[in-house]
């Protein structure tokens, strides 16, 4: 048995594994589409996408409120997370001495490893009561609670990719800026950040994809009311939450409408992640 | 030699699949029960007691919700499906061979924060609160669409009116209880088996929400908890259901905070 034989065989095997990973995606897409068809046929995509009322018991399945819920919570979460993440990335890449960096960086990355349900629990037991007291009404289940929890959850994604991008800026740019008499902060602001722009954009977009797909923590803190998010202190419902909350007890067209919700989400996340990956690959 | 290393995990996988596949079948000695989250704690206790008396029997209890219980039984995933509601007409016509057995009864308690000054409401008042939804006076907490507990609440309390969309919708008895317990002006509804000191169960029209009033029918929001089986059940499944209905089984029902039947 020659070593070339082993070589050939292992190449085939990993080739098959690669194809399998791709096929899994295709099968999931086909399955979701197939399960959505009854609802799409009976109700029409327009009625589902642009319907503002969700009353399964009256066969009314409009997901516009949840589309709005997902978009608003995600944007608010990004607005909270971006300054934090960017500041953290600059700190780690440029400011922090090595021994502090060696503590902070793993700590930020560990945030990824905390299960979603734990974030939800902390949000529900600590954050919601605080928000209820701030707003003076309701239970604290709100768009704001969801956005704060989401912001913490996407923080590590945005921070680490932004930091990598800042570090990937060629050293001669920085040296050039210093040589021209720029201070450290001027260099960061006018040279490093613009040069790392693409990578930071990609980081934010990938964070968006993660945020919009988050489920368990959202279900626990947003209140799951199928209404438009009129105020950040009021509840709303996300696309993911719609599926998670109702799937267990749904039958027939209701179940199919939930799969349609999943289809919309699937396409949304696919689009966002593709844009993010494109931006990431094209970074300088 | 190196090539064989690939085979080891492969063979292991196949063996594991065979073993697991073998367990999934409802051979004599194993019963799979699943469905309603309201029935689950009760089914756990019944299974425990039955297995203590019959060491050769293995009963697997799962959750999933009432609809999953009905569907699972019809499709053979569960030997016994648990539902905290009756069969829907659509289910009964789709799977005509399903048999429903009342194994326990349950009241749905209308609960508020323990500090609330309100102790009694009429059915009409509860209905209006849930139809009007959350406002400065109330934070309305409901179960999700399709929940068995919600269905009985809608039938007995809402009487055709819709629960407002701006209510909060949470996917389990436990989540509703937690939310009501932590919100000063919250109102929600949960199975009587879940009621404890963290929430206050309201009297409805002057009738206290307790097991005796549920049994007598004077408390208005009650329902049966059901086991669903296929027409021609195996002997072992029949023996288990008979055990649940026996005085010993019904004693467990009372101990768990539900209402016994028969």
Is B4 part of any domain?
A: no
Q: Give me the residue from A1, A6, A225 closest to B166, CB to CB.
A: A225
Dihedral, CA of residue B187, residue B191, residue B192 and residue B197, to nearest 10: -50
Q: Band the pLDDT of A281: cuts 50, 70, 90.
A: confident
Tell me if A66 sits within 8 A of A242, measured CB to CB: yes
**Residue A132 to residue B183, Cβ atoms within 8 A:** yes
* CATH code: domain of residue B81: 3.40.190.10
Distance from CA of B136 to the nearest CA of A (A): 6
Is B59 part of any domain?
A: yes
Q: What is the pLDDT of residue B101?
A: 94
- Same domain, yes or no: B87 and B141: no
Contacts with B144 from chain A: Cβ below 8 Å:
224, 245-246, 249
Domain total in chain B: 2
Contacts with A219 from chain B: Cβ below 8 Å:
171
Interface residue A64 vs chain B (CB under 8 A): no
- Same domain, yes or no: B250 and B144: no
Tokens matching residue A85: 């993440």
Per-residue pLDDT at B166 exceeds 80: yes
Per-residue pLDDT at B26 exceeds 50: no
- Same domain, yes or no: B84 and B175: no
Distance from CA of A269 to the nearest CA of B (A): 25
Residue A171, beta-bridge partner list: none
Q: What is the pLDDT of residue B2?
A: 44
Q: What are the pLDDT digits (tens) for A146-197?
A: 999 999 999 999 999 999 999 999 999 999 999 999 999 999 999 999 999 9
Q: What are the pLDDT digits (tens) for A230-254?
A: 899 999 999 999 999 988 778 789 9
- Same domain, yes or no: B203 and B124: yes
For residues B7 and A185, give the distance between their C-alpha atoms in angstroms, rounded to a whole number.
Answer: 58
Is B147 part of any domain?
A: yes
Is B84 part of any domain?
A: yes
Q: Band the pLDDT of A1: cuts 50, 70, 90.
A: low
Q: What is the pLDDT of residue B46?
A: 95
- Same domain, yes or no: B89 and B145: no
- Same domain, yes or no: B135 and B218: yes
Q: Could you give all domains of chain A from N- to C-terminal order, each with its CATH number?
A: 47-281 (1.10.3720.10)
Place of tokens 């408390």: B219
For residues B31 and B78, give the distance between their C-alpha atoms in angstroms, rounded to a whole number.
Answer: 8
Residue in A52, A249, A251 to test binding to B, most B beta-carbons within 10 Å: A249
Q: What are the pLDDT digits (tens) for B89-144?
A: 888 999 999 999 999 999 999 999 999 999 999 999 999 999 999 998 999 999 99
- Same domain, yes or no: B140 and B203: yes
- Same domain, yes or no: B124 and B94: no
**Residue A9 to residue B3, Cβ atoms within 8 A:** yes
Q: Band the pLDDT of B3: cuts 50, 70, 90.
A: very low
CA B228 distance to own-chain centroid: 13
Tell me if A122 sits within 8 A of A78, measured CB to CB: no
Q: What is the pLDDT of residue B28?
A: 55
**Residue B182 to residue A125, Cβ atoms within 8 A:** yes
Per-residue pLDDT at B236 exceeds 80: yes
**Residue B148 to residue A138, Cβ atoms within 8 A:** no
Residues with Cβ within 8 Å of B53's Cβ and at least 6 positions away in sequence, in order, are B243
- Same domain, yes or no: B117 and B98: no
Whole-complex ipTM: 0.83
Return the H-helix or E-strand segment holding A169.
none
Q: Give me the residue from B90, B147, B182 closest to A249, CB to CB.
A: B147
Is B2 part of any domain?
A: no
Interface residue A68 vs chain B (CB under 8 A): no
Domain housing B52: 29-105+224-255
Q: What is the pLDDT of residue B27?
A: 42
Mean of the per-residue pLDDT values of chain A: 92
**Residue B165 to residue A9, Cβ atoms within 8 A:** no
For residues A284 and A72, give the distance between their C-alpha atoms in angstroms, rounded to a whole number.
Answer: 31
């Amino acid at each position: 048995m020659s070593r070339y034989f082993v070589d050939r065989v292992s190449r085939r095997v990993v080739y098959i594994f690669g194809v399998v990973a791709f096929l899994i995606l295709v099968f999931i897409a086909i399955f979701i589409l197939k399960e959505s068809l009854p609802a799409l046929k009976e109700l029409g995509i327009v009625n589902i996408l642009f319907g503002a009322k969700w009353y399964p018991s009256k066969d009314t399945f409009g997901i516009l409120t949840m589309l709005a819920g997902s978009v608003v919570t995600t944007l608010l979460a990004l607005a909270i997370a971006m300054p934090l993440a960017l500041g953290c990335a600059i700190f780690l890449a440029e400011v922090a001495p090595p021994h502090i960096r060696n503590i902070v960086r793993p700590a930020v990355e560990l945030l990824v490893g905390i299960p979603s349900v734990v974030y939800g629990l902390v949000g529900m037991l600590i954050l919601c009561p605080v928000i209820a007291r701030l707003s003076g009404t309701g239970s604290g289940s709100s768009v704001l609670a969801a956005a704060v929890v989401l912001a913490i959850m996407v923080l590590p994604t945005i921070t680490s990719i932004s930091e990598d991008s800042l570090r990937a800026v060629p050293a001669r740019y920085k040296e050039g800026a210093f040589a021209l008499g720029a201070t450290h902060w001027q260099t960061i602001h006018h040279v490093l950040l613009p040069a790392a722009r693409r990578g930071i954009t990609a980081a934010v977009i990938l964070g968006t994809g993660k945020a919009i797909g988050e489920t368990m923590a959202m279900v626990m803190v947003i209140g799951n009311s199928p209404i438009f998010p009129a105020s950040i202190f009021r509840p709303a419902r996300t696309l993911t939450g719609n599926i998670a909350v109702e799937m267990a007890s749904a039958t027939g067209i209701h179940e199919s409408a939930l799969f349609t919700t999943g289809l919309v989400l699937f396409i949304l996340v696919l689009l966002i992640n593709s844009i993010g990956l494109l931006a990431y690959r094209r970074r300088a | 030699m190196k090539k064989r290393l690939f085979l080891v995990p492969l063979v292991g996988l196949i063996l594991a699949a065979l073993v697991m596949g073998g367990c999934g079948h409802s051979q004599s000695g194993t019963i799979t029960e699943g469905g309603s989250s309201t029935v689950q704690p009760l089914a756990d206790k019944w299974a425990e007691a039955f297995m203590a008396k019959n060491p050769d029997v293995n009963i697997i209890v799962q959750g999933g919700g009432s609809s999953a219980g009905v569907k699972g039984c019809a499709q053979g995933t569960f030997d016994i499906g648990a539902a905290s509601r009756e069969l829907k007409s659509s289910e009964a016509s789709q799977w005509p061979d399903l048999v429903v057995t009342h194994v326990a009864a349950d009241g749905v308690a209308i609960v508020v924060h323990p500090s609330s000054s309100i102790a009694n409401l009429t059915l009409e008042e509860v209905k209006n609160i849930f139809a009007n939804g959350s406002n400065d006076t109330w934070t309305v907490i409901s179960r999700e669409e399709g929940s068995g507990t919600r269905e009985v609440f809608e039938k007995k309390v809402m009487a055709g009116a819709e629960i407002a969309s701006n209510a909060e919708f949470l996917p389990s008895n436990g989540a509703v209880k937690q939310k009501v317990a932590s919100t000063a002006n919250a109102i929600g509804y949960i199975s009587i088996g879940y009621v404890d000191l963290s929430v206050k169960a309201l009297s409805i029209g002057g009738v206290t929400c307790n097991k005796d009033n549920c049994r007598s029918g004077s408390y208005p929001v009650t329902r049966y908890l059901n086991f669903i089986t296929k027409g021609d059940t195996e002997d072992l499944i029949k023996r288990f259901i008979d055990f649940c209905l026996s005085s010993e089984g019904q004693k467990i029902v009372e101990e768990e905070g539900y209402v016994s039947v028969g």
